[in-house]
Amino acid sequence: MTDPHDVLFIMDPPETFNPRADSTFVMITEALRRGRRPFGTNLSGLGMHGQEALARVAPVALVDGDPPRLVYAEPPRPRALAEFAAVLMRKDPPVDQAYVTATWILDHAGTLVLNAPQGLRTLNEKLSILRFGELVPKTFISRDTSELREILERLGGRMIVKPVYGFGGREILLARSDDPNLGSLLELATAEGTRWTVAQEYLPAAAEGDKRILLVEGEPIGAVLRVPARGELRNNFHAGGRPEASPLTDRDRAICSAVGPMLREAGQFFVGIDVIGGHLTEINVTSPTGMQEINRLQGLSGGDTMQARFWDALEARLLAGAA
């Protein structure tokens, strides 16, 4: 039987969370604040008995301190996913064989799963932007180094290359036609022609940062500008980028209005899109972050925080499902 208070987070180990940066951390603490009982598991804890999806789960507790931390309060035990009011897929990438298998298991959860597993499989974070051609920079996909050289010339001698399954700013490279190491760079980017690579128009505005916009139910709830560290190409917080306040512009809202209906249709409840110079560059559906940075920059607390708005929408969804 489903317990309306119990929610399950599929996530990395709680001791790995940065209590001042991770969005999953504040999602869980907000659940506790609202009187819900959060449980956690990881990918290896998932399984199936016949048609029933199960997981080895443990309750998550908040330990006071400076900083506070989350821990598993008890040893894990098996429970059916259908016993939880909601299952929140918050496992960080990579999207690999284990991740995709987990989404197949979640297809059998028998309860609300967010983000929806079908959408997690379908919406590659680098390629799904191509559904919105008028909003995105010139983008190509190839694993042929000769073709990538041709694309580079077409793009004026500078382009960004990044792996289709990349995450957290890893392996993002700037290719230049005048670089004597260009051949080696393209060989590395494509793993010597065995891996598809995204080749994307270089946007000079990237030097000023890229904007992470958080959407819930396809509607924007907040944004933060990620500014690269000195001498660094990448803007990601994992790569040393710093957060700066950044209000939503009319162009940002137009992008959200275009992308939002697709996200809702695909069951992608919580999403982070990246915008550089008014261009949509990524649609992050796996485990987007940015909540805590927005809270601090905007001085948000209580019911105005990003995690509170997340839970307001989730509880509305649960209430509608129970009606």
Of the candidates 36, 91, 162, 211, the residue annotated as catalytic is 162
- Whole-angstrom Cα distance, residue 161 to residue 141? 9
* Residue 101 contacts residue 164 (beta carbons within 8 Å): no
SS (H, E, C) 46-57: EEEECCEEEEEE
DSSP β-ladder status, 69-72 and 139-142? unpaired
Known catalytic residue: 309?
Answer: no
Of the candidates 90, 234, 235, 293, the residue annotated as catalytic is 234
Of the candidates 6, 201, 210, 274, the residue annotated as catalytic is 274
Known catalytic residue: 282?
Answer: yes
Sheet holding 242-245, edge to edge: 242-245, 219-227, 210-216, 270-276, 279-284
Of the candidates 235, 236, 284, 295, the residue annotated as catalytic is 284
Known catalytic residue: 212?
Answer: yes
Of the candidates 36, 90, 91, 226, the residue annotated as catalytic is 226
| Residue spans of beta strands (DSSP E) within the chain | 3-10, 37-41, 46-49, 52-63, 69-72, 77-80, 84-89, 112-114, 139-142, 158-163, 173-176, 197-201, 210-216, 219-227, 242-245, 270-276, 279-284
Of the candidates 36, 90, 91, 212, the residue annotated as catalytic is 212
- Whole-angstrom Cα distance, residue 24 to residue 265? 24
Known catalytic residue: 126?
Answer: yes
Neighbours of 276 (CB within 10 A): 23
Give the residue numbers marked as catalytic.
126, 162, 212, 226, 234, 274, 282, 284
